[in-house]
């Protein structure tokens, strides 16, 4: 799959303890994105953050069972991402969801960037 030019970037905010059934929510979303043939997806772990409840979540060496904030980024065509988001209806513990239009300059595995 290749994308170039105008695309969309969707961000879903959640946390490490969010579950989908018995597994992590972020893992379920990534697997659904892969099955939907979304162009790309990455999960980022935050070191500190807070959401709508104002509770600060932070990394601590003393708290090995932490609940750090996570951001899941998905990139593809805008309508494809909107349809994908609609398919997530019913999942709990997804917080904020944002989308922005981006320009893809390069998306090609292993090929050198042409100057």
* pLDDT one-digit tens code per residue, 37-90: 999 999 999 888 888 888 888 877 666 667 889 999 999 999 999 999 999 999
Distance, CA of 46 to CA of 107 (rounded, Å): 25
42 to 24, 29, 49, 74, 83: CA distances (angstroms) = 14, 10, 18, 7, 18
Q: Whole domain around residue 58: which residue ranges?
A: 5-104
The answer as to whether 48 is a domain residue is yes
| 112 part of a folded domain | no
Quote the number of domains for the chain: 1
Residue 110, domain member (yes or no) = no
Domain assignment present for residue 40? The answer is: yes
Asked, for residue 115, whether it belongs to a domain, the answer is no
**Residue 27 domain flag:** yes
In a domain, 22, yes or no: yes
Predicted model pTM: 0.87
The pair of three-digit structure tokens given for residue 29, joined into one six-digit string: 């979303």
The domain spanning residue 74 has which CATH number? Answer: 3.30.70.120
Q: Can you give the pLDDT at residue 111? A: 65
């Amino acid at each position: 799959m290749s994308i170039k030019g105008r695309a969309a970037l969707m961000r879903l905010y959640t946390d490490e303890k969010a579950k989908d059934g018995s597994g992590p929510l972020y893992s379920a979303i990534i697997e659904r994105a892969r099955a939907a043939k979304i162009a790309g997806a990455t999960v980022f772990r935050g070191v500190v953050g807070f959401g709508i409840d104002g509770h600060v979540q932070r990394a601590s060496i003393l708290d090995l069972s932490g609940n750090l904030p996570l951001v899941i980024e998905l990139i593809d065509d805008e309508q494809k991402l909107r349809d994908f988001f609609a398919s997530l209806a019913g999942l709990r513990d997804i917080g904020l969801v944002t989308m922005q239009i981006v320009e893809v300059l390069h998306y090609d595995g292993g090929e050198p960037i042409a100057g």
